A and B are shown apart, each in its own frame.
Chain A
Amino acid sequence: MQSCNHPSVDLTLLEDTLAEYAGVKGSLISILQKTQEIYGYVPIDAVYRISERTGDSPAKILGVATFYSQFRFQAVGKYLIMLCKGTACYVNGAERILDAVSDELGIGNNETTADGLFSLSVVACLGCCSLAPVMMINGTTYGSLTPDKARQILRDLRKEAEGT
């Protein structure tokens, strides 16, 4: 069964994960995390497939997936910027970094640039409070940011992406 609103995805990629967790109760979040690892997001078709295999209703699965901020339902850009807005970052001017990043990329929170290069996600706390303000891009943390420094990092990444 294919849903007409979403691009179809290769559901066979899910099989190993579904087999790994078959019969393990309470593993829905882990399955969803694996799903996101595989596809970069949680495709709606995968939700139905997980439902078929786990017996959890699609309503429950979507309810769980939408509860946690980790899960996304659309593909993200090549670079996922997680901009910290924890207390220490806030006190040290995270708002100005957010403004600079938004302005530089022309996107807001939870949006992706038209070229598919950057996605922006404002997060609660990355736990690098002493380096505030910080952002993490694809696992790399950038600390002690200033608006200009943040812009430069994004420009460097863009150059890097265009160079390859």
Chain B
Amino acid sequence: MTARIVVGEGSCGLAAGAAAVYDALQKALPADADARLSITGCVGACYLEPIVDVYDADGVLHRCVHVAPENAPAIVSAVATGDYAGLAGIAIQPEDEQFLSKQTRIALRHCGVIDPESIDEYLADDGYQALEKVLKTMTPEQVIEEIKISGLAGRGGAGFPTWFKWNAARASAGTEKYLICNADEGDPGAFMDRAVIESDPHNLIEGMLIAAYAIGCVEAVVYVRAEYPLAIVRLTKAIKQARERGYLGKNILGSDFSCDIRIKAGAGAFVCGEETALIESLEGSRGMPRLKPPFPAEAGYWHKPSNINNVETYANVSWIINHGGAAFAAMGTENSKGTKVFAVTGKVRRGGLVEIPMGMTLRDVIFGIAGGIRDGRKFKAVQLGGPSGGCIPESLLDTVIDYKSLQATGAIMGSGGMVVMDDSTCMVGIAKFFLDFTTKESCGKCVHCRIGTKRLGEILTRIVNGQGKEGDVELLEELCNTVKAGALCGLGQSAPNPVLTTIRYFRDEYDAHIRDKKCPAKACPALLTYSIDPDKCKGCSACAKKCPVQAISGQVKKPFTIDPNVCIRCGACHNTCRFGAVNVE
């Protein structure tokens, strides 16, 4: 068997330098070597990128991490000699292997394994078998029934039963129906949809085609974020390949079923993740949500019956058809079946994509898989669900991951962003961060969202600036609850969640900002005081040189001082001092 050298070229890998590694390997690899160099997508262990998987002649995997171009000759020689001892310095460590071994991969099962640009590799790994099975042996009703058995729910955020949407769209009158894939993954901190498209585009195509068959759609559209150029490139290639091989287009696999898929690139608007706003955008308009009802299943794209699911939802479909809905339903909890992909980021030791069965606890994921908090700091909160979600404190870390349990905390499952924060993150600041985001991304149509989020942001801003007033927290709560009730679409209805959850779990931090004018996390610049400890200061003047406003003065070799009236609290002195002499309070 020919050895294989596979370079992880997802966006993260490329950002970490995978392209240079690939070039170096190509250069180092002799033309006559019995080894094949190829790429794969993202295996999800982003913190180890660039990753190079070396399969020896026996098919045994030797995974190399943090690979630099300089390591190329060593890899090539290991492949040539069969002696992998020379790669010990870049070999994956056992605890890092756990990051992957503790996961259960369905939606991500091909990611980081096959070459996303090769339909043959997909076919070799059971690709398009589910489609063939559906077209040749199942009626649309049977497909929907299988999805119903699986318990699959929308992975984009709301968790609505997938079969129900399909069935509603199927039941709607008319022959012109559309299938839409929401790949406008806008939640900052979530990137599993990008990973699926970049790493396993055919799986998405296959899932969409099965849905299109079940519903009766002749045309399908993937709405991809403009910020995902690589995903667009790979999906375009995959669509072309699928069309050439007869998996897409007229009379697919010789059946009566015809369907084609096209890509529409978004243009930068978070609100287009909301399904009716997405439809408006697809139609070439401003992405402003429509009133519901009518729901898209009755009147969606061009006012025809339309079904919208997100990438991860479709990515589960082929597995369910191949293995049966029951196998999927066997995983998870009473109300949430199957697996869910999370993008674990923030202050964890091992960040990346994690696919786990529903029912694991947050602690399992954050500490068991992601390795807990890095830099020896203390866990403070985990943010789930992005701008629509909430912050969960340490006391709730044993919460089980399923739709209902997470909702009970005030957060939501969301699309799977899991941003972990340590004690250096200010929870009022994080609420403000999200409100700044939603204010910027509000489409501006409805009053509650347009002005409500703006005012929430302003109140939070004054609190972090030390100008909060007694009663501000109550005012925030009142406004939050009304915005939730009165906003037109999901963006506005969920925008207050980060504020409400931080108030619920971290009220003391709000009070400290408002009453004591202190930021317990020492993160809000306006509330900090910088001073120099005369006992520790060596009088080196490094801080004074760094200070952008000349607030620091003194004589060399004597303790320096900071003029608090001039200081702009940028922290440059604190970061510069090698003696720990700059105090922050």
Contact = CB atoms under 8 A, between A and B. Distances in A.
Direct contact of A and B (CB under 8 A): yes
A64 B264 contact: no
A132 interface: yes
6 contacts: A25-B302, A29-B267, A71-B267, A86-B189, A87-B345, A91-B346
A134 interface: yes
Contacts of B228: 127
A85 B430 CA distance: 12
A88 B346 contact: yes
A127 B343 CA distance: 10
Nearest to A67: B286
Nearest to A64: B286
Interface residues of B, number: 58
Given A70-B267, A87-B188, A103-B548, A29 B570 contact: no
A33 B265 contact: yes
Interface in A76-96: 85-92, 96
A131 interface: yes
Contact of B194 (A68, A127, A141): A127
Contacts of A67: 269, 286-288, 443
A127 B191 contact: yes
Most B Cβ at <10 Å: residue of A71, A103, A143: A143
Chain A residues touching B, range: 35 or more
A25 B284 contact: yes
Task: Determine which residue in B189, B270, B434 has the highest number of CB atoms from chain A within 10 A of its CB, and name it.
Answer: B189
Contacts, number: 141
Interface string B1-23: 00000000001101110000000
Given A91-B421, A128-B191, A131-B12, A68 B287 contact: yes
B283 A26 contact: yes
A143 B16 contact: yes
A126 B343 CA distance: 13
Interface of A: 25-30, 32-33, 60, 63-64, 67-71, 85-92, 96, 99, 103, 123-132, 134, 139, 141-143
Contacts of B189: 86-88, 125, 129
Contacts of A96: 571
B15 A30 contact: no
B417 A87 contact: yes
B15 A142 contact: yes
Contact of A124 (B282, B302, B437): B437
Contacts of A85: 188
Kindly list the 5 A-B residue pairs having the minimum CB-CB distance in the complex, ordered from nearest. A130-B46, A86-B188, A141-B15, A68-B267, A28-B284
Interface in B106-138: none
Given A88-B419, A89-B188, A96-B571, 16 more contacts: A25-B283, A28-B284, A60-B285, A67-B288, A68-B269, A87-B417, A87-B419, A88-B189, A90-B430, A125-B186, A125-B188, A125-B190, A126-B227, A127-B191, A130-B12, A134-B15
A134 B12 CA distance: 10
